[in-house]
Amino acid sequence: MNFLVPKEFLDKYLPIADQPDSFTSILTSPPQKSFRINPLKGVTDEVLTRLKKIGITCNSVPWYKHAFTHNVDNLSSSLDRFTGNIYIQELASMLPPLIAEQELQQAETVLDCCAAPGSKTTLIAALMNNKNSLIANDRSYIRIRGLKFNIDKSGVTNTLVTNFPLKTFPDTQFDLVMLDAPCSSDGTVRKNPNLFQSWTPKRCRSYASRQKQLILQAFDLLHEDGILIYSTCSFAPEENELVINKLLSERDAALLPISLSGFHFSPALTEWEGYRLNPEIAKCVRVWPQMNNTDGFFIAKVQK
C-alpha cells in the first residue's frame, strides 16, 4: 500500500518521525472511530448501556474519561447522537482543549479563533462547565451555520458566536485563546487518503505564511499572563515549529510544557533543514499517528 504515499511526503517526514517504520505503515490504515460523551448532557454509564444495546462496542481511552473508540459506521444514527449526548470526534482533535483543562476551568473569557465546525468549541465549553464566557469565532459565514448547529445541539449555554477575520477582531483581551489554525491537514491522511493526491511541500508553505500572521494576532488578543493554545493537524514543521519560532522572535512569549496522563507526546523539533530554532520549542509537542493510533497533530502552549 506504500505506493499510495507520495515519495516526497515520505522524504519529508520519515527523517523526523518517531518509529519511522510504524509511521509508514499506519499512514495507509484507517483511523480508529471515536467519539466523546458530552458531559453537559449525557451520563456516561447510561449512554454506554444504550449504545451496547444497539450493538455498539465502546472502548475507553486512558487519557480522557469521556472519550471512546467504537466499531460501527452508523453511530450518527444513534439516539445519543440525535440528542447531543455524544459528539463524534477524532481522538487527536480533543487534545488541544484537554491540555488546557485546568486553565479553561479558571478562565473568565475564552476565544476560539477558528471555531467552525465546533468540535473543539463544544469540548472547551464542557471543560468550562458551561460557565463564564466563550467566544466562538470563525471568518466563514457559511461554516458558522454548522458551528451554531453543534453548539446548540451540545447544550452549550456559555458561548457567543462571532464572524470576523482575526485581523479585524474587535479590540478585546481574553484569558485564554485557542488557535486551531487552518492548515494543510496532512496529519489527517488516514481519514482522507485523497489528500495524498493534492499534497505538495508548497501547499504546506502556503499555509505557513497565513499561520504566522494568525498566531501574532491571536497572541495580541491575550491578557497579560493569558494562555494561547496553538494547534494544527499537520506534520509540516513550516506550519508548526517555524510558526512558533516566528512568535518567539516577535513577541515576549513563553512556552509552557505539555502533558496529558496516559497519552504519548513526542517533543517538537528544534532544528529543521539545517536551521536552528529557539530551543524552547522542544516544549511543544508532536502527535505522531503511530504512537497513540490517532491522527497527526502539533500543539503549543504559550503564555503571554
Q: 135 near 159, Cβ under 8 Å? A: yes
Residues shown for the chain: 304
In the set 93, 159, 232, 240, which binds other proteins (CB under 8 A)? 159
Spatial CB neighbours of 62, under 8 Å, sequence gap ≥ 6: 261, 262, 263
Residue type (1 letter), 252: D
Q: How far apart are CA 67 and CA 87, in angstroms?
A: 10
Cβ-based neighbour number of residue 146 at 10 Å: 14
Nearer residue to other proteins within complex by CB, 128 or 268:
128
Site for other proteins in 180-219 (CB under 8 A): none
Minimum CB distance to other proteins, residue 76 (Å): 8
CB 102 to other proteins: min, Å: 20
Say whether residue 278 binds other proteins (CB under 8 A). no
Q: Candidates 86-94, 160-168, 253-261, 274-282: pick the segment binding other proteins (CB under 8 A).
A: 160-168
Please give the grid coordinates belonging to residue 129: 462547565
Cell of 42: 449525557
Instruction: Please name the amino acid found at residue 111.
Output: L
* Residue whose CB is less far from other proteins, 223 or 251: 223
Question: Residue 151 interacts with other proteins (CB under 8 A)?
Answer: yes
60 Rama class: left (phi>0) / alpha (psi -120 to 50) / beta: beta
Give least dist CB 131 to other proteins, A.
8
Instruction: Clarify whether 58 is annotated catalytic.
Output: no
Output the DSSP codes for 161-188.
Answer: EE---GGG--S--EEEEEEE-----GGG
Answer for which of 148, 191, 210, 264 binds other proteins (CB under 8 A) is 148
b/e map 100-126, b = 16+ CB within 10 Å: beebbeebebbbbbbbbbbbbbbbbbb
**Binding positions for other proteins, 58-117, rule CB under 8 A:** 74, 77-79, 82-84, 109
Please state the closest distance from residue 94 (CB atom) to other proteins, in A: 20
Residue 54 engages other proteins in binding (rule: CB under 8 A): yes
Per-residue mark of binding to other proteins, 116-145 (x: CB under 8 A): ----------------xxxx--------x-
**Residue 32 CB, nearest approach to other proteins (Å):** 20
Q: Which is nearer to other proteins, 144 or 253 (CB)?
A: 144
- Long-range contact pairs involving 115-118 (C-beta distance under 8 Å, separation at least 24): 115/147, 115/161, 116/140, 116/143, 116/144, 116/146, 116/147, 117/143, 117/146, 117/147, 117/150, 118/146, 118/147, 118/149, 118/150, 118/151, 118/154
- Report the nearest approach of other proteins to the CB of residue 298 (Å): 28
Work out whether 153 is an interface residue with other proteins (CB under 8 A).
yes
Using CB under 8 A as the criterion, what x/- string covers residues 218-257 for binding other proteins?
----------------------------------------
Catalog residues that contact other proteins under the rule CB under 8 A.
40-41, 54, 74, 77-79, 82-84, 109, 132-135, 144, 148-149, 151-153, 155-164, 170, 172, 174
Provide the annotated active-site residues.
Answer: 233
